[in-house]
């Protein structure tokens, strides 16, 4: 089945630093999504990408849908303490009716 | 608009028992998907219901089942609980079948002892 490799698994950064994380797939995806999960809560959708090469921003967050359609990147600029959490990528394959596949997450710690 | 709600939030059960979890989607959303989240495996898809019919199913044993009611509320049942079933169970709703913009509830933390 489809698998997503998300890296890095964890990051420890200082407040104000920029962050970059990525996801790669063994197969082509039609849609890429990025979620953030706070402790004790469900994931919250941050950014959705629907087209190869698409670059979308949401405040300090920017995500890109890779040209090969097998990868996606999420960047966070000028990190703040409330950026702490686990970030998940998710993708949907070409079938349109396929289930979402999730990466295992990147745990972000921001030191003030 | 109220978000996705899940009840109960926390549950402790004994091995061999069964459990039923409930999910109420966002008003107007007709699709409900269930996921199991564990530290080792991440988010694993269980199944999706749309218009009271299971439309998609993940690779879980038959002990995991679900249903959806006419008001789109959904329940998930796990029979003959095993220690490995301890996890956070999340449901997510979307407007349409296989909708990618899924909105998650806070989850039910199930502990099996």
Q: How large is the average pLDDT for residues A41-52?
A: 93
- Looking at per-residue confidence, does A95 or B43 come out higher? B43
CA distance B44 to chain A (A): 8
In residues, how long is chain B?
A: 113
Categorize the per-residue pLDDT at B1 as very low, low, confident or very high, splitting at 50, 70 and 90.
Answer: low
Chain A residues inside the 8 Å CB shell of B35: 102
Contact B66, B74 (CB under 8 A): yes
Residue with tokens 């564990």: B38
Categorize the per-residue pLDDT at B93 as very low, low, confident or very high, splitting at 50, 70 and 90.
Answer: very high
* Residues 6+ positions from A108 with CB-CB distance below 8 Å: A10, A11, A13, A19, A76, A79, A83, A84, A85, A86, A87
Question: Is A99–B56 a contact, with Cβ atoms under 8 angstroms apart?
Answer: yes
Q: How large is the average pLDDT for residues B46-74?
A: 94
DSSP reduced 3-state for A20? strand
Q: Tell whether the model's pLDDT for residue A46 goes beyond 60.
A: yes
Nearest CA among B78, B82, B104, B86 for reference residue B38:
B86
Residue A93: the pLDDT is 81
Asked whether the bond before A8 is cis by omega within 30 degrees of 0, the reply is yes
Backbone φ and ψ of B71, nearest 5°: -90, 10
Q: Which of B4, B45, B105 lies closest to A99 in CB terms?
A: B45
Asked if B60 reaches chain A (Cβ–Cβ under 8 Å), the answer is no
The span from the CA of A16 to the CA of B57, in Å, is: 42
Contact B82, B60 (CB under 8 A): no
Question: Is A102–B43 a contact, with Cβ atoms under 8 angstroms apart?
Answer: yes
Q: Tell whether the model's pLDDT for residue A97 goes beyond 70.
A: no
The span from the CA of B105 to the CA of B90, in Å, is: 6
Lowest mean per-residue pLDDT among A27-41, A64-78, A86-100, B28-42: A86-100
Chain B residues inside the 8 Å CB shell of A99: 33, 45, 48, 56, 58, 98
Residue with tokens 């995500």: A63
Average pLDDT, chain B: 93
Backbone φ and ψ of B96, nearest 5°: -125, 170
Chain B residues inside the 8 Å CB shell of A48: 100-101
Chain B residues inside the 8 Å CB shell of A42: 4, 90, 92, 104-107
Lowest mean per-residue pLDDT among A97-111, B17-31, B76-90: A97-111
> What are B11's two structure tokens?
């549950």
């Amino acid at each position: 089945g489809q698998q997503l490799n998300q890296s890095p698994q964890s990051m420890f950064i200082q407040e104000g630093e920029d962050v970059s994380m990525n996801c790669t797939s063994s197969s082509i995806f039609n849609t890429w999504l990025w979620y953030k999960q706070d402790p004790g809560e469900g994931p919250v959708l941050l950014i959705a990408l629907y087209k190869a090469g698409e670059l979308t921003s949401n405040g300090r967050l920017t995500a890109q849908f890779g040209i090969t359609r097998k990868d996606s990147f999420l960047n966070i600029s000028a990190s703040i303490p409330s950026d702490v959490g686990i970030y998940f990528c998710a993708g949907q394959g070409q079938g349109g009716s396929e289930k979402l596949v999730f990466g295992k997450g990147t745990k972000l710690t921001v030191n003030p | 608009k109220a978000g996705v709600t899940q009840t109960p939030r926390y549950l402790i059960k004994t091995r061999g028992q069964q459990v039923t979890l409930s999910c109420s989607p966002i008003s107007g959303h007709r699709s409900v998907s269930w996921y199991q989240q564990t530290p080792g495996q991440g988010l694993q898809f269980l199944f999706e219901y749309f218009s009271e019919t299971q439309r998609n199913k993940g690779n879980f044993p038959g002990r995991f089942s679900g249903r959806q009611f006419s008001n789109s509320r959904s329940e998930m049942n796990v029979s003959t609980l095993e220690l490995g079933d301890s996890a956070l169970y999340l449901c997510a709703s979307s407007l349409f079948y296989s909708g990618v913009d899924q909105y998650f509830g806070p989850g039910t933390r199930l502990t099996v002892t």
